[in-house]
Structure formats: C-alpha cells, structure tokens
Amino acid sequence: MKILVPIDGSEASRRSVNVAKEVGRQFEAEIAVITVVPETSVFEQYPTNFPYNLELERANNDRAQKVLEDVKTAMSDYPYPVATYYVKGNPAHQIVKFAEEHHVSLIVMGNRGLGAFSRTLLGSVSNKVINSSNVSVLVVKGDGKDVKKGA
C-alpha cells in the first residue's frame, strides 16, 4: 500500500501527516509526501517583472524545502519507506496526477476549513482532489482553530 500526503506547511497538513502515519503503521504502507508550489506565470508576461519572478520562485523553492525538511523530521520515527517530492503547477491537478502515476492507494490531506461561500467561489484543493481523483481521499478536518469565523 502507498499513501500520498500533500502538504503545504499549514497546521492542517501537519495533522494529515500524523493521521497518515497512524494509518500507514496499520497497513505497513509506504508514504509519499508531496508539496506543490503554484507556477508564477503571471509575472512572465511582463519582462520588467523578471527579477521579481526570480525572487518569488526562489522564495517558493526555499519554503518547499523547509516544509519537506520539517516533514522528514516528523516522519523520522516511521518504520516504513518515506519519500518526499516537490512539484510545480496547479496543486489539485498535480496531486491527482501524482497519485495516478505512482499507483497510490490512499490520499490523506488536510482541510483548510473554508466556509461554504468561499468553497463555492474558489473551490478548495481538497474538494477538487476529492472530485477528480480515482483514488480514495481521507480529509483530515481541523480542530476549528484555523477556521475563519463568519465564512
């Protein structure tokens, strides 16, 4: 069995790592952890913004490396194989694509707690993954601390 855990460094993704470890231990599963950074193609349209684009890309790379290093530390006591991946693109699309290409059995991901109105307008990554993946998805709900009031 292989479990995919998409992370972004948020508290919700940290909780999903812990749940994936619990499930993974029960099934002696390999865990793949992925972080997806959206591409910065908007800036590429304007040549004068090239330095800003490079700086933003560097910051995204640094953040992704930090997030993956943190999860490696959190997974250090996990007894089965763990691999980490960093990709660019649309997060929901890249998660679904990765799951299909790597024959994942289960996706375990956090829910950011967006309200119904925001979800209707924007769609959350977890919602998009649930609706477009052929792989089962376990959404780890937050404890309510990171949910915006009135949303």
The b-or-e profile of 13-23 (16+ CB within 10 A means b, else e) is bbbbbebbbeb
Q: Is the pTM of this model over 0.75?
A: yes
Residue 127 lies in a domain: yes
Residue 151 lies in a domain: no
Tokens of 94: 């890249």
Domain total for the chain? Answer: 1
- Cα(125)–Cα(140) distance, integer angstroms: 13
Residue 91 lies in a domain: yes
Q: Which residue has the tokens 């800003």?
A: 52
CATH of the domain at 64: 3.40.50.620
3-state secondary structure of 100: helix
Residue 148 lies in a domain: no
Residue 80 lies in a domain: yes
Q: Residues 90-146: pLDDT tens digits? A: 999 999 999 999 999 999 998 864 444 444 444 588 889 999 999 999 999 865 454
Provide the domain limits for residue 45: 2-140
E strand residue ranges, 7-81: 30-37
Q: Residues 2-30: pLDDT tens digits? A: 999 999 888 888 899 999 999 999 999 99
- Cα(74)–Cα(55) distance, integer angstroms: 29
